[in-house]
Amino acid sequence: TGLNSFIPRTGFILGGEYLVRPDLYTQRTLKASLEYTWKVKKTTEHSLRAIRIQSIDPSNTTPKFDSILADDISLQASFEKQLVLGSQYQFFYNNTFKEKKRFTYSAKFNVGTSGNIYSMLSRPEVDTPGAVKLFNLPVSQFVRLEADLRGYFRLSPKLILANRMITGTAFAYGNSSIA
């Protein structure tokens, strides 16, 4: 909340994750994105990830985990090798810094897509799920909407009642059958 609070920021984000669940699976994830964040005022922030790339590579699944996947097609789809290539926009409102107010809140809204940039550039001629590939990985195609709402009601100077609601939905299209 100093003088630099409203200066737009550009970020290049690289990351990786290696998750080992010995009795279930191993999963390697690589992530990269180009992010631009700016504040309009003290309460309001926007963030645009113009390019977001994520490679998901599960391996070493056990028979126990395979039986769990067999019963849940959505979970099975989330544990397939895939490439998420898209963009994301986030709007964040926060007035919780206003200590004199009895009720404060924050609201975060996300819209994320995958496969839209790749589809515009490559114009694939197939409509079979999983058929469109890049680097031999299926390119996921979806639109995802999310909301995270938090409310804080000050009951006394040292006691605050906090509430939270998270909701979202996703729509698969093109190369994906499940989001």
pLDDT tens for each residue of 40-69: 999 999 999 999 999 988 888 889 988 888
Non-local CB neighbours of 89 within 8 Å, separated by 6+ positions: 46, 47, 48, 49, 110, 111, 112
pLDDT at 76 over 80: yes
d(CA 151, CA 134): 43
Residues 48 and 109: beta-carbon distance below 8 Å: no
Tens digit of pLDDT for each residue in 2-33?
566 688 999 999 999 999 998 999 999 999 99
Angstrom CA distances, 80 to 1, 5, 118, 178, stand at 43, 41, 19, 11
- Kindly report the pTM of this predicted structure: 0.81
pLDDT of residue 110: 97
pLDDT band at residue 179 under the 50/70/90 scheme: low
- Locate 41 and state its tokens: 């005022």
d(CA 88, CA 52): 7
Rounded to an integer, the average pLDDT of 72-83 is 83
- Locate 48 and state its tokens: 């645009």
Q: Output DSSP code: residue 4.
A: G
